[in-house]
Structure formats: C-alpha cells, structure tokens
Structure 1
C-alpha cells in the first residue's frame, strides 16, 4: 500500500523551521524602558509555541554565552542567528565598525549553535529620529564599496566563525527596491553574500517575493516573514513618511491581514532548501507590553495552518 501523496511529501520535505524575534515583541534597542524585559520575551516565545529565535539587538538578551545557553536550553529554545548593522558604502573606515560588531555578535551566536548573521545596511533616514542622514541613492562608486565590503565581511564571518552572511534589504535604506536588490545580488559573490529575504520590507517598495525566489533561488539563504498594510503603504509612500513613523501607524500588520501571502513563499523556499529558517518579524516598536504575545501565537497558528511545509522544530 502506497503512502498518501501529502504524507509522502511531508517525509521528503519537512518544510521550513518557523521562528520569531524580539522585534515581534516591540524590541528595537538593547536597552529601552518602554520594551518588555528579556525574560518575559523568552517566556512568551515558549508560550506562543516557537522554538527558534534571533538575538535581536545585541545586548538585549544576555551576552554571556554560558548564561544565554542556560536561559535558552532551560526553555527548549534554539538560536537561529544574530544581527549586524553596516555602512560599508560610506568609506573604508566602516569596515572596522562592522567587524567590531561581528566579533561580538558572531562570537556569541556561533557558541550557541547559530548558523546565520543577518546584516542590515545603515538607513539614509534615521529610524530613531527620522533625520535625513545622506542621499537616498548610491553612486556607482558607493555601490562598488558596498558590494566589496559585504563580500569581505561574509568571507570573514564564514572563515572565522563558520557563519553565513544574509543581507537584509530595508525600508529607508539604499537597498530596498527590486532593482536595487537585484543589483546588489549581481555585484556580490554568492559564496559569501546572500539574501535574508524580508517579505515585508521587500513588499514595502513593491517587491514580489515569489518572483524573486523564482528568479534567484540560489541567493535566498534566510527568511523574515512579515506583512505590510497595502492601503496604509500608499499613504506612507505618497507622504514620504519615515519608516519609524510608518511602524507607529501599524504599517506591519498581523497575518493574514496584509501582503504578501506567506504560505506560498514558505513553500517556494522549502522547495529550494528545507533547512532554511523563516523568522516571523512584526515591527511593533513602542507597542503596549500585553499586545505582542497573542499576535505571536495567532501568527504561528496562521502560518502552520496555511501550508504543510512549515514546522516549529
């Protein structure tokens, strides 16, 4: 007797591991009195039904590897990766700033068994103050610096820590639109630099995640799952509102109330590599302390109900 097609497919492809992150609990900074304590974050992650997490901003969770290992293992949690912020298009001096962060973040993440470092480029408009810091677009010379710097960083992360660099395009950054993301991929080396495809940030500038996955499957190494409110997005873009202001208005919404649909994206990436991690991120900085937990639980339930190619462990 042969197995049913769905059961057979499940054995062949278990699907992506679905995790979550501190930003889904309103955490953007290492220390902010408006953010919930890290112990509560970890406890609620478990209660919401997740196993995998990210570090979030370095310093929010304990930075002593033994203590953090105890805190995670005691709750049955595992670490998928950490985050580094870079401005490698600016000058050669930016390398040291990036590497100083990498030593801290990658050093901690590697000791806890993580495999990825998500790298977010500096924004041209501050997400803390909304101040315009530099021009919105890069010159050809800056593009060259950006690509070379990330290849250097990715090579060093892999050789020193065994970690893979996953570049994160971002609203209010120089790499946000489809054309910019494709140019970045074209100018970087896939051995050292690949993409953390953030479905919300990519959709923020009209990007089609499914099409990108279809066209560049070998460059997708990690996923951030989020949705944007398409109606609000038009107002945000028309009025040139800063990303932080858009977040305060609720631009990132609870699935399934925004775009893009997450199930098909998870399935497309699972067909590339079922070992890829997909981390739920709903930017909610400044939210009330009791708001994130029920959203996180409902989001997990929605994702697991929308596709058979998603798993918690």
Structure 2
C-alpha cells in the first residue's frame, strides 16, 4: 500500500484552476515529492499544464505518478445538459492525452445543498423523476469517458445531489459495476453521517480509489449547528492531518487490507490559501501516520 500513497491539490487550497492565489503547479509537485508521496491527483481541470510531455516529465523526475483526474459537473441540472457533456468531453480528452486511466466523477455543487453538511434529513432532495434524469446524464458522461479509455468512478461529495447514503445506493444500483466503480472519500461519508468501515464492507471490490481525510468532530458539530458552507467549515479546521482528528483511520486501513484493496490512497486535508505555510509539514505527518498504520 505504501507505494500507492498520493495527495491532491486541495491540500494546497486549490479548488479552482484560475484562482490567482493558487501556488504554482511546480511547487505542488515539488512539495508532494519532498513529503514522500508517490502519486498526485490532477485536481481541477486546467491547474496543471495540458502539454502531456511537460507534465509527465515533471512528475517523472520527482518520482510521482498521476493517479487520477476528475470532473465536477452539475449533471443533476437537466437544463445544462449540453454544456455539461461538452465540458466532460474536453476534460476526458485532456486526461487521455496525459495517460490517465481513471476519471473521478462528482455531481457538482448546488447552492441549495452546500450548507447541509451532515444534514441528510433536512437537505433538499431530487424527485424520483429528476434522479432518473440525472442517471441518464451520468451514463452519457460515462460513454464519453469510455471512448477515451477512462474507467469511471463515482465520487460522492458535499454540495451535490449524490452525497448521502440513499443517494449513493440509488446510483450504484442503477449503473452496473462494470460501467461505474466507486471512489470512497472516507472523510466525506463520515461528515455526512455514514460509517466508512461499513461502506467499505458494503461495496468491497467496487471501491477502486480512496480519499483519506481526518475530521475534528467538535468542528463538525459547530458546522452542522451553524449550517456552515463546506469552504467555511474546512477553513475553520474541520479537516485535520491524518491521526489528528477523531476518525478510526487505522481501522479503515485494516478493513481495506481485509478486502485486498489495491488502489491508491489519496491524502486530502483541505486548506484555505491563508494556511499554505503548513502544507508540507501536514503532508509529512499524514504520510508518517500511514506508514505506521499500514505496517
């Protein structure tokens, strides 16, 4: 497992490729390598250079492998079908050019859902008809990705309409495992009231990519009480380096070993841009935690 530990650009506060406060892509690769990681996710489309030779060479000299790319698109919004599919096509074309073989698919953020961390009961929901329309859109994205040789993995996340346990189960039931795998973000599922260990046991081999976060449960209680938006919650310390929070991450690793998990473990601890001075230190601590947990 230790040779497949990666990190993601969100650790540097990178959520939008065009944000002028982002650190340079070269700095991200350098610090990921220095902290002992073997892989990097691409993050938002356009942050890393699109020239495949340039990025692949930069990763190679730093001992890094690109482990996955992603799209975050509001495919639950039927009115945006054409633009969603066009953007998906552009991202898939870029990923294929970089030699990436896995596409993480997130249902994009909707303002009415963004402040419902851990609030499955009160969060706005789609009608059954709209859920089926969403699945049709998702299948269209999968078709596009397959055309570029990409394996698609659903990434449930905060702010979209595939977040809570019943929403995940609906989509995974509607689309077969041969077409759609699962990227399980253990932090996100914990934040939204699910048991990561039970989810790993439920989906087993369908899980082909793991995101690891740790969570400060006191900060989570405040985020739920105050109906905080995701970016505000993590800026207040909701997400911690691995081992500093309250999740049972050693048990998570134990259960992953039990199902013979062979994919990447991707460390994510979201920072605001104001906290970038601690990124390398935090990444090293998370890497050290995993070294001990996996041994």
- Runs of 4+ in structure 1 off by over 4 angstroms are 126-130
Q: CA deviation at 1:288?
A: 2.9
Q: For the residues of structure 2 that align with 1:68 and 1:124, how far apart are their CA atoms?
A: 32
TM-score, normalised by the number of residues in structure 2: 0.90
Q: For the residues of structure 2 that align with 1:74 and 1:55, how far apart are their CA atoms?
A: 17
Aligned to 1:41: 28
Change (3 A) 1:217 1:268: same
Spell out the pairing of 1:224-243 with structure 2 (5 A cutoff).
Answer: 224-243=211-230
Aligned to 1:6: none
Where relative contact order (Cα < 8 A, 6+ residues apart) is larger, the structure is: 1
Q: Secondary structure at the match of 1:267?
A: helix
Q: CA deviation at 1:85?
A: 1.4
Contact 1:262 1:303 in 2 (8 A): no
Q: 2:146 aligned with 1:147, yes or no?
A: no
1:233-289, CA deviations, whole angstroms, 9 ceiling, x for partnerless residues? 111112211111112111111121224222332332344344311211111132333
How many corresponding residue pairs?
Answer: 289
Q: 2:292 aligned with 1:305, yes or no?
A: yes
Aligned to 1:177: 164
Contact 1:127 1:244 in 2 (8 A): no
Contact 1:79 1:109 in 2 (8 A): no
Q: For the residues of structure 1 that align with 2:29 and 2:115, how far apart are their CA atoms?
A: 29
Query: Where does structure 2 lack aligned partners over 5 or more consecutive residues?
Result: 117-122
Q: CA deviation at 1:92?
A: 6.2
Q: CA deviation at 1:215?
A: 1.6
Alignment match of 2:84 (pick from 92, 98, 101): 98
Query: Where does structure 1 lack aligned partners over 5 or more consecutive residues?
Result: 1-13, 309-313
Q: For the residues of structure 1 that align with 2:156 and 2:290, how far apart are their CA atoms?
A: 23
1:184-239, CA deviations, whole angstroms, 9 ceiling, x for partnerless residues? 22222222222211111111111111101112214312111112211111111122
Contact 1:15 1:274 in 2 (8 A): no
Contact 1:82 1:116 in 2 (8 A): yes
Cα RMSD for the two superposed structures:
2.3
Q: For the residues of structure 2 that align with 1:35 and 1:87, how far apart are their CA atoms?
A: 24
Aligned to 2:93: 107
Q: 2:195 aligned with 1:208, yes or no?
A: yes
Contact 2:113 2:124 in 1 (8 A): no
Contact 1:34 1:286 in 2 (8 A): yes
1:153-172, CA deviations, whole angstroms, 9 ceiling, x for partnerless residues? 223312x1221111111122
